[in-house]
Amino acid sequence: MGSHGSERSQIRKICVVGAGSAGVAASKYLLAEKCFDTIDIFEQQASFGGVWNYSNDPINTINIPQINPHQPLDEPIWHSVSDQNGVARGARQAKFLSPMYERLETNIPHSLMGFSDMPSLEDHQLFPSREVVTQYLEDYGEEIRHLVYFQTQVTDICQTRPGAHQVRLKDLQTSTVYEKTYDAVLVANGHYNVPSLPNIKGIKEWNQANPGVISHSKLYRRPGEPFADKKVIIVGNAASGTDIASQIETVSKHPLLISQRSESIMGSAARFTEIVPQLAEFLPDFHGTRAVRFADGRVEENVDAILFATGYYYSFPFLSSLESKFSSTGERVSRLYKHLFYIDDPTIAFIGLPMKIIPFRTDEGQGAIVARVWAQRLELPSTLEMSRWEEDVIAERGAGKAFHDLSFPKDFDYHNELVDWATRATGRGGKMPMRWSAKDRWTRGRMAAIKRAFAEKGNARHGIKTLQELGFDYDSWLREQLPQDGTQLGTS
């Protein structure tokens, strides 16, 4: 591993934290190297899927405001297990609260969403439902099921020395706590667990006076109570905010108010909404009943529900001895090279941190690099060079949330860079990710418009399976770009 290679023995035993899309994809690339003695994957849920595991548990509590990323490990929610006839078998299964909601559909067309080595979702609607994606991830993980310890929570990882990691584990079924030691740790626990709910002026006192009115999108499950025939404000206009708004407006009073800091690029089918400026203050009662003020001075009274779709913090409660070095504010993970390797000890790596990306294929690209580096088929730059990379990104984007923001086209460029890097590995073998094609890039650049056109079809959207059915035809577009003399354009 570059300048670190002489500082450690060869990696033989690997711990993977999480069996969602990132953990499973990366583990397949680790397994394909055929040089590691142990690859143990620990997943606190009872199945594959990570964040896609739906939990229908009514939990109505959240810190308001929620500005501290350093939260304890989640406690499991226990469900009794039933047979095919719905009869309880006496067993129980651990589930954890996720941000999945009942009617969620992806905001990525299936032509871009799938893994490179897994049949696509083309037999389903163009933007698949959460149920379809959950089953897809379950099928994708089957190949490595034998490596996974389900319903096992990683409670602490202590770095005893560079390249030696003591991992404390808890079997949730038996409450047995035990420890294992690994040469390397791959963190793939996701970043949709600890909600971010800003400390807007007056919010704490307002919430105490009006309990239950303020919530976060992590707790949203379906339109209905508490939104039916109510005055509702959605704070945030990214993917979840716009999608949830289009659902709630079907039952709420009109217009539904969407508070935003900047214009949304997401497609939305919402028709009965009004865009308002950033929410600036929660007002005391003498200004009116349940009143708020927006940045332009407008005051809205008698607000019945406020749902914050304001994202999540990066949080690693099982890295308590190192978390202050990785993520002091929760807005990004510090001391990482290429959003992957811990610069001070590259036997710790993270998968799935970048935001605003096409995740499954990016997981593959990242997994390919980690596998090759840990198999000593790729070298990392020196510590100084890796630190300079981080400094350059901070100079360009800042040290906050924008650090891991790879909005198009940065996401495609990043993935293709990873693929090109993987091709430079020495030796043979391993698993190779796929570059994004010119057609993929064309589709990605039009994704918001495609989603908007899809949503505008209403219930008819469920029968739409191709881009062409919405009027987005890459081949036709390509023919229109041909020069008059017939010279062909590049297609990759």
Residue 6's pLDDT is 39
Helix ranges (DSSP H) in 83-202: 110-113, 130-141
Cβ neighbours around 432 below 10 Å, total: 16
Residue 119's pLDDT is 81
User: How far is 120 from 108, CA to CA, in rounded Å?
Assistant: 13
Q: Which of 26, 15, 19 is nearest to 363 (CA)?
A: 26
Q: Which of 361, 360, 336 is nearest to 348 (CA)?
A: 336
Residues found in the chain: 492
Phi and psi (nearest 5°) for 147? -95, -5
**Cβ atoms 201, 46 nearer than 8 A:** no
Residue 96's pLDDT is 93
Residue 270's pLDDT is 61
* DSSP run (H or E) holding 477: helix 474-481
Phi and psi (nearest 5°) for 165? -130, 120
Strand arrangement of the beta sheet that strand 273-276 belongs to: 214-216, 305-308, 232-235, 256-259, 273-276
Say which residues have a Cβ less than 8 Å from residue 341's Cβ, sequence separation at least 6: 348, 349, 370, 373, 380, 386
Rg of the chain over Cα atoms, rounded to whole angstroms, equals 24
Q: Which of 103, 102, 106, 100 is nearest to 126 (CA)?
A: 106
User: What is the sign of the dihedral through the CA atoms of 17, 406, 71 and 64?
Assistant: negative
List per-residue pLDDT tens for the chain, 492 residues long. Answer: 655 543 457 999 999 999 999 999 999 999 999 999 999 999 999 999 999 999 887 676 789 999 999 999 999 999 888 766 665 666 899 999 999 999 999 999 999 999 999 987 999 999 999 999 999 999 999 999 999 999 999 999 998 887 899 999 999 999 999 999 999 999 999 999 999 999 999 999 999 999 999 999 999 999 988 899 999 999 998 889 999 999 999 999 999 999 998 776 655 556 788 999 999 999 998 777 999 999 999 999 999 999 999 999 999 999 988 767 777 789 999 999 999 999 999 999 999 999 999 999 999 999 999 999 999 999 999 999 999 999 999 999 999 999 999 999 999 999 999 999 999 999 988 999 999 999 999 999 999 999 999 999 999 999 999 999 999 999 999 999 887 655 555 544
CA atoms within 13 A on the CB side of 160: 12
Helix ranges (DSSP H) in 5-80: 21-32
CB-count burial class (<10 Å; 0-12, 13-18, 19+) for 455: buried
Q: To 5 degrees, how large is the angle CA 350–CA 352–CA 358?
A: 155
Greatest CA span in the chain, whole angstroms? 74
Residue 83's pLDDT is 67
**Cβ atoms 281, 297 nearer than 8 A:** no
Q: Which of 14, 155, 6, 134 is nearest to 73 (CA)?
A: 155
Residue 5's pLDDT is 43
**Cβ atoms 36, 30 nearer than 8 A:** yes
Q: Which of 293, 304, 341, 145 is nearest to 211 (CA)?
A: 304
Question: Would you give the distance in Å from CA 37 to the centre of its chain?
Answer: 30
Q: Which of 313, 373, 377 is nearest to 343 (CA)?
A: 373
- pTM of the complete model beyond 0.75: yes
Task: Quote the DSSP letter at residue 49.
Answer: -
Residue 328's pLDDT is 75
**Cβ atoms 91, 80 nearer than 8 A:** yes
